């Protein structure tokens, strides 16, 4: 069985189309899209992208018999979660994996799409990393999406204190039956493995994700979020104990994805 891992497409249609071609060429059984699926430039138009593009795209995958595991990411507005869920449910092979588990071909996939607080304003899916997390200096007040527009948060720090941390959210996930055949799909990369480095050299991954994976030791973990990290560090996969952590990265003007052959556990990064 082959798996294709892609992330951070941000509504770029030509990238979506190339993923279809690559998946068919490599005879991929499962595509895993690790979040940030919708256009970023017009966030309140993301619902239209789901209705007018993703619906047909999912139908094509269904006709081809390709499973598509996916969820919305931190740049995808939370107000469109219900529309996204309804669209996924129209198809038997399209699975919204956010905070859920599914089993395909004997492998358990468990998803989590929340991220560690960052300095940018959109906070729909942001959390403290751990109980003792120190907030970053912020670029303006926090924002939450609503059907009436943006809700500005006068005290984002105080609001975030009322939410479960990333560590809490990870512990709430459904437990796998066989950890040796489990694949975690977590938008946020773990800290300090070379999968989380920004252009300025700052490591912004999650300590909670690192600790969780080190404790659980699944077969694989799939990540995204920090587009440039593989180009900064030249690292797009890393060992964490016996777990292989994969972060393909993403370019603005090129497509990046990773093909994983589950029978041989070989990885190939494709850039085109």
Report the half-sphere exposure of 82 (CA within 13 A, side-chain side).
3
Question: Residue 115 belongs to a domain with what CATH number?
Answer: 3.60.21.10
**Predicted local confidence at residue 87, as pLDDT:** 98
pLDDT value for 99: 98
Q: Model confidence over 79-88: pLDDT tens digits? A: 999 999 999 9
Q: What's the pLDDT tens digit per position in 194-232?
A: 999 999 999 999 999 999 999 999 999 999 999 999 999
Number of folded domains in the chain? 1
In the prediction, which pLDDT does 47 show? 98
Domain of residue 113 covers 2-271
Report in angstroms the alpha-carbon separations of 191 from 13, 195, 196, 202, 226.
31, 8, 6, 11, 11
266 has which bridge partners?
261
Q: Mapping DSSP to helix (H, G, I), strand (E, B) and coil, where does residue 54 land? A: helix
- Going by C-beta distance under 8 Å and a sequence separation of 6 or more, which residues neighbour residue 114? 74, 125, 126, 127, 166, 169, 187, 188
Say what percent of the chain tops pLDDT 70: 100
The pairing of beta strand 256-261 with beta strand 266-271:
antiparallel
48 pLDDT band (50/70/90 cuts)?
very high
* pLDDT, tens digit (0-9, with 9 covering 90-100), for 95-149: 999 999 999 999 999 999 999 999 999 999 999 999 999 998 999 999 999 999 9
Query: Could you give the count of Cα atoms lying within 13 Å of 65 in the half-sphere of its Cβ?
Result: 3
Can you give the pLDDT at residue 254?
A: 97
């Amino acid at each position: 069985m082959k798996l294709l891992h892609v992330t951070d497409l941000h509504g770029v249609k030509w990238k979506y189309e190339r993923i279809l071609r690559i998946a068919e060429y490599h005879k991929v059984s499962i595509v895993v899209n690790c979040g940030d699926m919708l256009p970023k430039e017009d966030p309140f138009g993301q619902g239209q992208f789901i209705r007018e593009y993703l619906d047909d795209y999912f139908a094509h995958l269904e006709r081809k018999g390709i499973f598509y595991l996916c969820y919305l990411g931190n740049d995808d507005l939370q107000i469109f979660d219900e529309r996204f869920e309804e669209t996924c449910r129209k198809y038997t092979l399209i699975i919204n994996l956010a905070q859920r588990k599914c089993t395909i071909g004997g492998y358990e996939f468990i998803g989590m799409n929340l991220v560690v607080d960052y300095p940018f304003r959109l906070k729909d899916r942001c959390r403290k990393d751990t109980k003792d997390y120190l907030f970053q200096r912020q670029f303006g007040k926090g924002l939450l999406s609503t059907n009436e527009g943006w809700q500005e948060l006068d005290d984002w720090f105080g609001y975030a204190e009322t939410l479960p941390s990333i560590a809490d959210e990870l512990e709430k996930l459904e437990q796998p039956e066989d950890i040796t055949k489990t694949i975690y799909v977590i938008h946020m990369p773990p800290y300090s493995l070379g999968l989380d480095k920004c252009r300025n050299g700052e490591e912004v991954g999650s300590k909670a994700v690192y600790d969780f994976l080190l404790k659980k030791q699944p077969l694989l973990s799939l990540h995204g979020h920090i587009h440039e990290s593989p180009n900064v560090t030249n690292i797009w996969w890393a060992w964490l104990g016996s777990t292989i952590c994969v972060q393909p990265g993403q370019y603005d003007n090129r497509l990046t994805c990773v093909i994983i052959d589950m029978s041989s556990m070989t990885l190939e990064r494709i850039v085109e």
